[in-house]
Amino acid sequence: MQKKTKLILILLFISFVLNFYLGISSFIKNTYTPNLEDQIILGEMTKMVLENEQYQEIAARENVYAIKQGVSRFNVANPSSILHYEINVQTEQQTYIFSCTDNLCTGVSNEGWSYSRYSEEKPVLPLKKIN
For residue 131, the model assigns a pLDDT of 45
For residue 71, the model assigns a pLDDT of 85
Q: For residue 102, tell me if it sits in a domain.
A: yes
pTM: predicted TM-score of the whole model, two decimal places: 0.71
68/40 same-domain check: yes
Q: For residue 126, tell me if it sits in a domain.
A: no
Percent of the chain with pLDDT over 90: 37
CA pair distance 115, 21, nearest whole angstrom = 31
The single-letter code of the amino acid at 1 is: M
For residue 129, the model assigns a pLDDT of 57
CA pair distance 105, 63, nearest whole angstrom = 27
Tell me the residue ranges of DSSP E strands in 12-114.
Answer: 64-71, 85-91, 95-100, 108-114
User: Residue 124: what are its φ and ψ, rounded to 5°?
Assistant: -70, -45
pLDDT band with cut points at 50, 70 and 90 for residue 74 = low
Q: For residue 125, tell me if it sits in a domain.
A: no
Q: Write out the residue range of the structural domain in which residue 4 sits.
A: 1-32
Based on the structure, what is the number of domains in the chain? 2
CA pair distance 43, 13, nearest whole angstrom = 44
